Amino acid sequence: MTASTVLAIALISVGVVFLATSALGVLRLPTFYARTHAVGKSETVGAIFVIAGLIVEHGWDTGTPELVLILLFAFLANPVAVHAMARAEHQLGDAPADADAEEPS
């Protein structure tokens, strides 16, 4: 096993842990906002680690620029999509659970 293969396995493994955490958060967290927070953070980081591992394993050839573009798109689009979903939910009238609590004096 070469060093690049070990690094790729490590990166992909870390990414899979983040993606599994994201899936677990969707299943276990109680509110829409908690679930979107879990997905927005861990899914983005997990996807970046997996794609980075693929880039390391793939090496530099004709497919690598496409993987880099996918990585950049995931880095930019995932947080924006999660924010748009949360904003749409808020505009429909579903406020976060602690938004109705009174402010301490």
The pTM for the full model equals: 0.81
Do the domain assignments include residue 101? no
Q: How far is CA 16 from the centre of its chain?
A: 11
The whole-number pLDDT of residue 22 equals: 92
Integer Cα distance of 10 and 44 in angstroms: 17
- Nearest Cα to 38, choosing from 77, 11, 78, 95? 78
Full domain range(s) for residue 78: 3-95
CA atoms within 13 A on the CB side of 79: 7
Do the domain assignments include residue 34? yes
The whole-number pLDDT of residue 99 equals: 52
- Mean pLDDT in each 10-residue stretch from start to end of the chain (105 residues)? 94 96 91 87 93 91 90 92 91 72 52
- Nearest Cα to 64, choosing from 75, 76, 73, 55? 55
Do the domain assignments include residue 15? yes
The whole-number pLDDT of residue 52 equals: 94
Do the domain assignments include residue 100? no
